[in-house]
Amino acid sequence: MKRTQARLADGREIIYFDLDDDAVRDLDDPRDLPPVSTASQIRHDPLLDEWVAMASHRQTRTFLPPADLCPLCPSRDGKQTEVPSPDYDVVVFENRFPSLSMGAADPDPAEHIGSAVGVARAGTGRCEVVCFSSDHGASFGTLSQERARLVVDAWADRTAELCALPGVEQVFCFENRGEEIGVTLSHPHGQIYAYPYVTPRTSRMLETARRYSDTHGRNLFADVLAEERSAERVIVSSAHWTAFVPAAARWPVEVHIFPHRQVPDIPSLTDDERDDFVAVYLDVLRRFDALYDAPLPYIAAWQQAPVHADRDLAYLHLQVFSVKRAADKLKYLAGSESAMGAFITDVLPEDVAARLRRNA
């Protein structure tokens, strides 16, 4: 793998990841760009003990442009995009409209933020875009195994570097696919967030894992994986990974992909584990798209350990889920889910697993 770093016209970092060690990429960005906003802040919700990011500058971000104006395609035919080179394998760059920024400053103490128990501080962190392919019409599921492995290596590279940034507490690699999910750019890409706090979902899982370890002396994630591997909800199993529909799946289509060895994060995976993951994941994505004979909208969310806390309890895994509950129906988070956080699912996990297994 060849790694090439450069800077875009407004100072943002861009990194090319290439399979060919002899690849040469254009690094000069001739655009005249305004400075990137560093106005992000985070505010503490005292009722839920959670942080909420405030990034009002994102209201002006690019929204569903036509393919010939896609900012994630390579720069060609006189059209300058976010990627100066006329081609690339995988490329990562800092988001032009970041929710978090390493340059963010603490809010003016004279501002009145909420109540006496509320707190506001700088939205410190980093947001990156990961383009999986220069082909606008591709998807992660259509990548070759070699190219998909390059994406995994890019995730590992960025996770390691972002974890080393001051103030970063958790790194989250993810992909939103499909307009139904809320995607604003249709080019095949994902994102990486480096948060200045441990996210609520991760905190909750690790608190549960800590109680389980104190009571049983074992790792909760490992025990869940062991049970699921012997259940009827397994979709794909290989030497190093198992993909299954969890027993208490919240979403109409939901698959968790676990390595058989407990590791805290993507950089900790061996070469064999990374190769094996690619084969399993591409298999799962093909089954997703065969479910309704159309591209399935989904969110793919890597659960990685926090940077400093509970790394011994954490267990790397990927959660992939879709809001599509039928070919022409979506699952909306209405009153019970949105207001109370109490999910009600419309389909049995065993039925979903059976359908996905048939879509080999």
Structure tokens, 282: 């591409």
Q: Dump the DSSP string for 89-132.
A: SEEEEE-SS-SS-TT--PPPTTS--SSTT--EEE---EEEEEE-
| Structure token digits, residue 350 | 């065993």
Residue (of 194, 193, 242) closest to 221 by Cα position: 242
Q: How many CB atoms lie within 10 A of CB 318?
A: 23
Whether residue 240 lies in the annotated active site: no
Sheet holding 2-7, edge to edge: 2-7, 13-18, 90-94, 126-131, 189-195, 170-177, 298-303, 317-322, 253-259, 241-244, 234-237
Q: Give the H/E segment covering residue 322.
A: strand 317-322
- The active-site residue, picked from 189, 240, 256, 317, is 189
Distances (CA, A) of 326 to 86, 115, 173, 293, 323: 40, 44, 27, 11, 9
Report whether 67 contacts 77 (CB < 8 A): no
> Which helix H or strand E contains 226, and what residues bound it?
helix 220-229
Which structure tokens are listed for 252? 């109409």
14 and 7 Cβ atoms separated by less than 8 Å:
yes
CA 235, 202, 273, 178 torsion: positive or negative? positive
- What are the catalytic residues? 189
